[in-house]
Amino acid sequence: MFVKLVVWLCFLSIILSQVSGLCSEQTDCGSCTQASEGLEVCCWNATKNSCLPSLLGVCHIGGTRLSYNCPTELPKFVYTDDFGRSKALPYIAAAYGTTSTEAQQCLTNTLPGARVYRQYFASPCANGTCSATLSYSMYDQAIVVSFRGAEGEGQFLQAATDLLNDEKLPFPTGGNVYHVYRNAFYTFWNEVGLEKGIKYLKNLYPSYEFWAFGHSLGSGMASLTSSYVVKSGLFSSEKVKMVTTGQTRVGDIKYAKAHDNLVPYTYRIVNINDMITKLPTKSYPDLEDSYHSRFEVWYPNGMVKGSKFIICNQAEQSSCSASSNDTMLPVHNSYFNVSINTWVGTGCT
């Protein structure tokens, strides 16, 4: 009886493998992630450029069976260190200003022609207050929203705890996003006037681009805001750019895909092994419940001027920051070699 069963299983697996094709015959990621071999799924190893069978249906670290995670061509707007360092950084740092005047001082010293329009404070937000700064620049022809990260350890801990425990809820873009981000977004958008402010500037400067920047907790809000302005028809995709630092996962893989479709010019910068960017942690890399969007920009050796960086062409690439140990918390607030949350205190000089 047992022998018969084994023979039958072997037979079944041969049939299945003939129907689906062997993993090793697949020469590109797209077809690899659709293929299976007997009872095993196939996993694409982008480092090796090869398709291998999984073990018990789960890909080993370094392999993926998600077509969304296949290597992708970079968008027309390619990230440069200069854009990150001389545009995204000052706007993010200015968002830590406690008043518009303080935020403006930071921009005046770093970006000629950039003007703060208004700051928005949302409370309660992850047990504290969240803040966004809305600016515009004739020089760059852009309307810019930047979101600061958590202020103080209490808010930071609460945000991390919420992320780890929290349920996700649907977002109009498609997919589900973490409650902490969704709540904060709607408070900014509907209750404290961010929508009104953006529409006001858009009316004054209809041809301007829309840039969304953020750090840490603020990165999630930059992600939702940039997706939302395209989804709601306020800006077209080609007009929107998003750059974040220290971004956590924002939602599930459906949201990540929706975000990338709506906002193709989107980069999330990771300094060395910033552990916040690995939250919420996952039991295995292909878990779809919590998934990063593209494109990671990894600075493996820190971010002093001239540092090497890699633009990763997979959404969650095992050879980018995922390959480094998450043991050095202090790098989270140091981006582009400045203390991103306190730089505004010295006027960003």
Ligand X SMILES: *[C@@H]1O[C@H](CO)[C@@H](O)[C@H](O)[C@H]1NC(C)=O
* Contact residue for ligand X among 22, 234, 328, 338 (CB under 6 A): 338
CB neighbour list of residue 95: distance below 8 Å, 6 or more residues apart: 103, 131, 132, 133, 146, 147, 148, 213, 214, 215, 218
Residue 56 found at the interface with ligand X (CB under 6 A): no
* Contact residue for ligand X among 27, 48, 199, 346 (CB under 6 A): 48
Please answer whether residues 62 and 317 qualify as being in contact, where contact means their C-beta atoms are separated by less than 8 angstroms.
no
Q: How deeply is 16 buried, as exposed, middle or buried, from its count of CB atoms within 10 A (0-12, 13-18, 19+)? A: middle
Q: Which residue, 278, 298, 301, is CA-closest to 290?
A: 278
Q: Which is nearer to ligand X, 193 or 280 (CB)?
A: 280
| The pair of three-digit structure tokens given for residue 37, joined into one six-digit string | 């071999």
User: Following DSSP, what letter does each residue of 103-168 receive, concatenated?
Assistant: HHHHHHHHSTTEEEEEEEEEEEETTEEEEEEEEEETTTTEEEEEE----HHHHHHHHHHHHHH--E
* Contact residue for ligand X among 62, 97, 149, 285 (CB under 6 A): 62
Residue 19: alpha-carbon gap to chain centroid:
38
* Contact residue for ligand X among 38, 63, 84, 285 (CB under 6 A): 63
Q: Smallest distance, Å, CB 111 to ligand X?
A: 20
* Contact residue for ligand X among 8, 9, 30, 60 (CB under 6 A): 60
Residue 129 found at the interface with ligand X (CB under 6 A): no
Q: Smallest distance, Å, CB 272 to ligand X?
A: 11
Residue 53 found at the interface with ligand X (CB under 6 A): no
Residues 166-195 binding ligand X (CB under 6 A) are none
* Contact residue for ligand X among 56, 304, 305, 306 (CB under 6 A): 304
- Among 101-109, 153-161, 190-198, 279-287, the segment contacting ligand X (CB under 6 A): 153-161
Residues 22 and 37: their CA atoms lie apart, in Å, by 5
Q: Smallest distance, Å, CB 254 to ligand X?
A: 25
Residue 86 found at the interface with ligand X (CB under 6 A): no
User: Interface with ligand X by CB under 6 A: which residues?
Assistant: 45, 47-48, 52, 60, 62-63, 127, 154, 157-158, 161, 304, 324-325, 334, 337-339
